[in-house]
Structure 1
Amino acid sequence: MTASLSSPLDRAVPAQRIAVVGSGISGMAAAWYLSARHQVTLFEAAERLGGHTATVDVELDARRYAIDTGFIVFNDRTYPHFQRLLTQLGVAVQPTEMSFSVHETQRDFEYNGHTLGSLFAQRRNLLSPRFHRLLADILRFNRQASDDLRYERLSAAFTLAEYLDTWGFGVDFQRRYLLPMGAAIWSASLGDIRRMPALFFVRFFHHHGLLSLRHRPQWYTLVGGSRAYIPDLTAPYAERIRLATPVRGIRRSANGVVLTTSRGQEMFDQVVLACHADEALRLLEDASQAEREVLGSLPYAGNEVVLHTDTRLLPRRRRAWASWNYRLDGRGDDARASVTYNMNILQRLEAPHTFCVTLNDADAIDPCRVLGRFRYSHPQFSLAGQHAQARHGEISGGTQRTHYCGAYWRNGFHEDGVWSALRVAHALGCDESGTHAVGTPARATVSA
């Protein structure tokens, strides 16, 4: 999980024919790095590139919009590899607001933590002792978690639930703040977040400035939608991209790797599995015991995503509207997260409509306002998964000629996909210089 990417490159690695399976950010980045030295062929089961990089074209009232429905944002602190890639590609980005609200319509409870005014968007909370106890717990958790991380007091075997219960954090703090925020970040249920490793959770919150009220990173979106980086990222190997070509089986030998698709069988020197862990395991016809153990401990869960203009999925009070809006409304711990992204805020859209992207709450949306329905899978993190991440070196590379990359090897986000791709690239004698792709590297453009 914490493997370094700064080890010396093996310059003795000869040019090889490499198959990359999967065209999410991990697969596209791996292919980009590797194609500077090797002949890369990219296989994608879908009819489009990108995976979670999924920008949808919408025409409404004679105006056109490009709306992101999967990957949306990145920041200037915890995405160094992804930022470097964007700089090399010269992709334009723009600053955005990352605010978070929680609302419970059945009980008329809501707040947006972005400003003091939005925090008390529901004015009666100004005089609510219960709400002030929630705020006090937020401050206490930020201090406690920061200190425990700094002084290495967090046990690797502790779940978040055990940590919160041990220190007596209130039910409102857990269910109306911390767990919804985690559920929104990882597209998971409240129960999934409670079962997360406490160290994993606290370290992530610390790195992303979520344990501080002031020192937070600046977030960005890509101008024109997240798909804007795909053409340049895939340009070096564009002629060897095979869309709508699902891989049906993979078998390894001492001489190479055989991939079976609808076109037949094809031999490669190496294969990079940049698909989800469960998909990778299904493709292996000769999976080792270690591969079954490791990949089997890194599960995914599906999330239903709806693009729409039904603002009833947002808080009742417009001043409580945030970039990310979590809806409680009686959902149990194991119910999928109900999160609505306000895309007008996130993508800085000037439109008479409010474009929303909602996870796992399709029945609450007016069918007449639905613009598209999608389904994406996200990695689930647990103590067992944390141990599996640390075993990457046991199954990736070596005589099996098989390499694994994907965001699931770290925190599950775009930066982790690029980081993981670069780890595979290093193993095959490549670096992140990107001298092969788009000529002289350009600086990423930031639109104010």
Structure 2
Amino acid sequence: MPNRVAVIGAGIAGLSAAYQLRDEAELVIYERNDYVGGHANTVEVIEDGTTIGLDTAFIVFNRPSYPGLSAFFDELGVPVLAHEGGFNMFDLDTGVEFGTLEFDLPEHEIVERYPESFLGIWRDAQRFHAEAPRHFLRKQAEFGLGAYLDLHGYSEAFKRGFVVQLATAVWSIPPELIWQMPASTFIAFFMAHDAEGLGGRSVAWHTVQGGSVTYVRKALAAIGAELRLDDPVVAVEDLGHWVEVRTLSGSSERYDSVVLSTHADQALSILGNPTPAQQAIEAVRYNTSSCLLHTDEAVLSKDRARWRSWNFGTVTTDGQSRAWPVYHLNQLQDLNARQDYFVTLDCPIEVAPDKVIKRITYSHPIITCEVRDLQSSIYRAHSGSRVLLAGSYFHSKSLGPDQIGSHEAAFSSGVEAARAVRAVLADPQFSRRDHAHSKSTQEEAL
């Protein structure tokens, strides 16, 4: 009989692993939520009789920085659209705004048209884009971002008015956690995505036509696995000749191998007797963000002409400076829509209740120097167990240890987990059981 493999977690890491194994094993995919896709989470609305897919987490990709994911989309025949890019930063306290266009201007125009406070940010940004890649290549940036910026004399205005906004959008973490991340990881993002980060000047961005749910549906059709939704797995235990998986509903089944493609903390909470290499992922912590999909333009600049795909606001509330990203989905996804649609993360501006479409909570790995250091040994977790791990807290092997936390990193981890599953099943000590191993313990009790 065919080998049985369970994939626990149906985000891109789990879908990637399942896709690789689709012709090699009988697959069962477990997902604690009532939908498949994880951060590929599209909310579909009806406007004038037409269905519009609104992405709320994963939205854009480019081929140089997402090689595995791009090839995956090509294989599946996923339709994609070109995305122009562009960002705008606006400070509600000072009224100062700047973005992609300003960084294309010569310095004398900045001096003539903008306040001194922005001139400092502009100059620091130009210096950062010129110097930081050299520091990265010389391995002179493999320590905390806050310490790196201080060492090289960057201004508080640059840190608070540029770095914070981009980092909160890209890694979905609050400002107080940004300074802990490795400077090399922050720099690598710009090197891979272009000097404007999300500006789309030198890298061709794309978005999935119809929303990321389009690729999820195509992947599921190609995989053809049995889906177990809305029933969280509560225990996974490697029993030597098989792995037992138990769910909240009381189901218990045995598999030849399991891919545990959840967040690191979730994996350790359900994995019995992890190996030392698996236990090491406890270094990965998570930040929870409040995501709001809505139609309230109050969260954006008052000047509509300045709206871009990526918008970053700053305002002082209760004596504290707060930053938040606003994704203008109409531009990001090239929507043919009458209504404007926005996604905000941890936004301090009150959104009118009647304009809220959906509230969603997301968790993202916090990329610290400890997590980056872990990347040198993290793939050892694929040895010595029938349970293999996958998730965006692994780096992409083809892109290096600073490519963590992205859709590409998660996809790559799924590919590597599938490769490790094959090794488990091909092990000469692998002991094949009879068909009884596929029965649940509930059935055996009967």
TM superposition score category, shorter chain reference:
0.7 to 0.9
Distance change >3 Å, CA 47–CA 286, structure 1 → 2: same
| Contiguous gaps of at least 5 residues in structure 2 | 396-403, 424-446
Distance change >3 Å, CA 227–CA 115, structure 1 → 2: farther
Please give the alpha-carbon distance, in whole angstroms, between the structure 2 residues aligned to 1:218 and 1:115.
20
Pick which of 279-288 and 372-381 moved more. Answer: 279-288
Distance change >3 Å, CA 424–CA 321, structure 1 → 2: same
* 1:140-180 per-position Cα deviation (integer Å, ceiling 9, x unaligned): 111110221233333x3x21111100111111111111221
For residue 85 of structure 1, the aligned residue among 72, 82, 107 is: 72
What amino acid maps onto 1:38 in structure 2? A
**Cα distance, 1:404 vs. partner?**
0.8
What does 1:401-416 correspond to in 2, within 5 Å? 401-410=386-395, 411-416=404-409
Identity of aligned residues (%): 30
**Cα distance, 1:384 vs. partner?**
1.3
Structure scoring higher RCO (CA < 8 A, sep ≥ 6) equals 1
Residue in structure 2 matched with residue 65 of structure 1 by the alignment: 52
Distance change >3 Å, CA 117–CA 254, structure 1 → 2: closer
8 A contact 1:146–1:211 mirrored in 2: no
Distance change >3 Å, CA 412–CA 112, structure 1 → 2: same
8 A contact 1:303–1:359 mirrored in 2: yes
Are 1:368 and 2:361 matched, yes or no?
Answer: no
| Contiguous gaps of at least 5 residues in structure 1 | 1-13, 431-448
**Cα distance, 1:35 vs. partner?**
1.6
SS of corresponding position for 2:17: helix
Residue in structure 1 matched with residue 39 of structure 2 by the alignment: 52
Residue in structure 2 matched with residue 384 of structure 1 by the alignment: 370
**Cα distance, 1:344 vs. partner?**
0.5
Residue in structure 2 matched with residue 423 of structure 1 by the alignment: 416
**Cα distance, 1:289 vs. partner?**
4.5
* 1:272-331 per-position Cα deviation (integer Å, ceiling 9, x unaligned): 111111110111132344433x22111111111111111111112122211111121126
8 A contact 2:265–2:285 mirrored in 1: yes
Residue in structure 2 matched with residue 445 of structure 1 by the alignment: none
8 A contact 1:310–1:369 mirrored in 2: yes
Residue in structure 1 matched with residue 171 of structure 2 by the alignment: 186
8 A contact 2:8–2:262 mirrored in 1: yes
Please give the alpha-carbon distance, in whole angstroms, between the structure 2 residues aligned to 1:332 and 1:290.
44
Please give the alpha-carbon distance, in whole angstroms, between the structure 2 residues aligned to 1:97 and 1:55.
21
Residue in structure 2 matched with residue 3 of structure 1 by the alignment: none
What amino acid maps onto 1:282 in structure 2? S
SS of corresponding position for 2:187: helix
What amino acid maps onto 1:140 in structure 2? R
Matched length: 412
What amino acid maps onto 1:97 in structure 2? E
Distance change >3 Å, CA 125–CA 39, structure 1 → 2: farther
What does 1:98-177 correspond to in 2, within 5 Å? 98-114=85-101, 126-154=113-141, 156=142, 158-177=143-162
**Cα distance, 1:428 vs. partner?**
3.0
What amino acid maps onto 1:153 in structure 2? Q
For residue 313 of structure 1, the aligned residue among 276, 299, 307 is: 299
What amino acid maps onto 1:286 in structure 2? N
SS of corresponding position for 1:364: coil
Q: TM-score, normalised by structure 2?
A: 0.86
SS of corresponding position for 2:34: coil
Distance change >3 Å, CA 200–CA 81, structure 1 → 2: same
**Cα distance, 1:60 vs. partner?**
4.4
